[in-house]
Amino acid sequence: MEAASGGAVRASRDRSVAASSKNYRHSTNLQVVIDANSRLVVAIGLPLPGSRNDCRAFTESGVDRACRGAPTIADGGYQGTGLLIPHRKRRGQTHLSPQQEAENAVHRRARARVEHALSRLKIWKILRDCRLKGNGVHQAMLGIARLHNLALTG
């Protein structure tokens, strides 16, 4: 099982791949696909401005092509992308069925593993104050993902 997750890189100086946020910093949206079982990074999309919606960023970054044909789970921000998202109560519905609750519990556990792996990628100093221009953010993230995978596999 795989899981898709998006992440923002803070303080990117290149305005072509960054957008201003609430705190006047510029951030970049990077879509990362992480295998929920092994916690290995499977794919990294092209960087997009941080103000980009996750649904749109998923398709525009090219990550959707890497996940084609595989069951891919995501959080609720990926509605309409064809990914497996948690069940939500519909209008007028008081609670979810027991089967939906059980499926959401499995989904939460898988997402927690993915989010922990994603947080390990985001702590690298090169991404916290990223002064890289052009394709540098993407290349830095590819290098970090390779080191992350190497550390997990030995």
The values of phi and psi at residue 134, to 5°, are 60, -125
Query: What pLDDT score was predicted for residue 132?
Result: 65
Tokens representing residue 79 in the block: 């509605």
**What are the pLDDT digits (tens) for 106-128?**
999 999 999 899 889 888 877 76
**How many domains does one find in the chain?**
1
Q: What is the SS3 assignment for 49?
A: strand
**What are the pLDDT digits (tens) for 42-62?**
999 888 877 777 888 888 888
Beta bridge mates, 63: none
Pairing of strands 48-49, 26-35: antiparallel
Query: What pLDDT score was predicted for residue 11?
Result: 46
Query: What pLDDT score was predicted for residue 19?
Result: 55
Range of the domain at 100: 2-153
Flag residues of the chain having pLDDT under 70: 1-26, 128-134
